[in-house]
Amino acid sequence: MSTESIERVTLERVTLIFPGALGDFLLALPALRALRARHARARLTAVVNAPLVSLARLAAIGDEVASLDAAWSVWLFGGSVPPPWVAGRPTIYSWLGSGDPVTRTRLTQAARAAHFFAIERGAGSEHAAVAYAHAVGAPAGLTELGKAGRLCPPPSPVADRIHAALRPPVLAIHPGAGARRKRWALGGFVEVADWWRRRGGSVLEVAGPAEAGVEALRGALLRDLPLADLAAVLAPAALYVGNDSGVSHLAGAVGAAGLVLFGPTQAGRWRPLAGSLTPLQALGTDPEGIPLAALPPALVVAECERIGGRLGGARPRSPVDKGGPRY
């Protein structure tokens, strides 16, 4: 290779801009990792929302990770000081600006080449992770995407202390979701938690900002834990049960076994592909959430037992490709 070619490879810079939330990021993770592999010799910077910076570092999608919430981000919307990740005219892959001509133009003018994509939203005929992979020209088989979406949680003294205080086996539950209509009735989680305790286990409830002020369901409650620590908490749980949420996608990414409950959203489009989480689709929803009549607790418990949730049971099978059982 000539000196000129070596210099060109060495100086290649790439920037990935992904403004989505936790669930969006984990669904797009295989596509982001495919771009990292495509530009393996480049100096790559991933730019994400502040709460996801530590998770993006854990996912190893870039040499550097920057926050979209940093002060210099005002450049994207008309500020005069450009951020360091546009220095050197990088190749930009952005999920920000696809529908905003001003931001799109600003990024295009700062880049050697710019490619724009949309955050997946709403109903659709293909899984969101497949759509993200297709958009960047990456392999889109469900099995491959599941493997590419895995995360290895880091050592966490916080997680070690939490589990040391609990009697195993541990059931982790997440009764929340960003939208109220995606939340299964709290009474259902109470019944699942009581079933687990009757068999001698402990229950660990995970709550996020959307559940501020909600009382714990008669168990240990974790609220707003840093995502890297939360990943380390979820990974060793014997069983996980949660709604369609970013936390459930994180549980799948670290290999948790259990159930993800779906109501108004389609399991076939939004279920976690990584890990051993089985989607369970309710029939019927309500603006206030998923009613017990649409997803009875007895059926959720039966499904937990079927996939190996009983004490001493086997790990569950991998979820099927088209969603899970419907009730």
Do 243 and 102 have their domain in common?
A: no
Q: Is the pLDDT of residue 209 over 70?
A: no
Whether residue 261 contacts residue 181, with contact meaning beta carbons closer than 8 Å, is answered with no
Determine, yes or no, domain membership for 226.
yes
Do 271 and 162 have their domain in common?
A: yes
Q: Which of 205, 207, 254, 238 is nearest to 304 (CA)?
A: 238
Kindly report the CATH number assigned to the domain that includes residue 56.
3.40.50
Identity of the residue numbered 73: S
Q: How many whole angstroms separate alpha carbon 270 and alpha carbon 279? A: 9
At 218, the pLDDT band (50, 70, 90 cuts) reads low
Q: How many whole angstroms separate alpha carbon 23 and alpha carbon 227? A: 12
Identity of the residue numbered 288: E
Q: Looking at 148, 169, 201, which one is the last position of a domain?
A: 148
Determine, yes or no, domain membership for 316.
no
112-151: pLDDT as tens digits: 999 999 999 999 999 999 999 999 999 999 999 999 999 9
Q: Average per-residue pLDDT in the chain?
A: 88
Whether residue 205 contacts residue 221, with contact meaning beta carbons closer than 8 Å, is answered with yes
pLDDT at 213: 55
Q: How many whole angstroms separate alpha carbon 71 and alpha carbon 229? A: 26
Q: Is the pLDDT of residue 93 over 70?
A: yes
Q: How many whole angstroms separate alpha carbon 112 and alpha carbon 102? A: 18
Determine, yes or no, domain membership for 321.
no
pLDDT at 212: 60
Q: Looking at 148, 176, 191, which one is the last position of a domain?
A: 148
Do 282 and 188 have their domain in common?
A: yes
Range of the domain at 138: 3-148
Do 75 and 168 have their domain in common?
A: no
4-42: pLDDT as tens digits: 444 444 579 999 999 999 999 999 999 999 999 999 999
Determine, yes or no, domain membership for 197.
yes
Q: Which of 117, 112, 121 is nearest to 137 (CA)?
A: 117
Q: Is the pLDDT of residue 56 over 60?
A: yes
Q: Domain count for the chain, please give it.
A: 2
pLDDT at 74: 87
Do 50 and 176 have their domain in common?
A: no
pLDDT at 304: 93
Whether residue 120 contacts residue 132, with contact meaning beta carbons closer than 8 Å, is answered with yes
Alpha helix segments (H runs only) across 174-296: 186-198, 227-234, 246-253, 267-270
Do 135 and 210 have their domain in common?
A: no
Do 140 and 162 have their domain in common?
A: no
Do 161 and 259 have their domain in common?
A: yes
Do 173 and 116 have their domain in common?
A: no
Reply yes or no: is the peptide bond before residue 325 cis, omega within 30 of 0: no
Do 32 and 118 have their domain in common?
A: yes
Q: How many whole angstroms separate alpha carbon 254 and alpha carbon 235? A: 5
Whether residue 67 contacts residue 86, with contact meaning beta carbons closer than 8 Å, is answered with no
pLDDT at 225: 87
Q: How many whole angstroms separate alpha carbon 82 and alpha carbon 325? A: 50
Place of tokens 């049971």: 313
> pTM of the entire structure?
0.89
Tokens of 118: 């949309």
Do 185 and 294 have their domain in common?
A: yes
Do 191 and 91 have their domain in common?
A: no
Kindly report the CATH number assigned to the domain that includes residue 230.
3.40.50.2000
Whether residue 170 contacts residue 163, with contact meaning beta carbons closer than 8 Å, is answered with yes
Determine, yes or no, domain membership for 41.
yes
Residue 144: other Cβ atoms inside 10 A: 15
Q: Looking at 120, 148, 176, which one is the last position of a domain?
A: 148
pLDDT at 316: 33
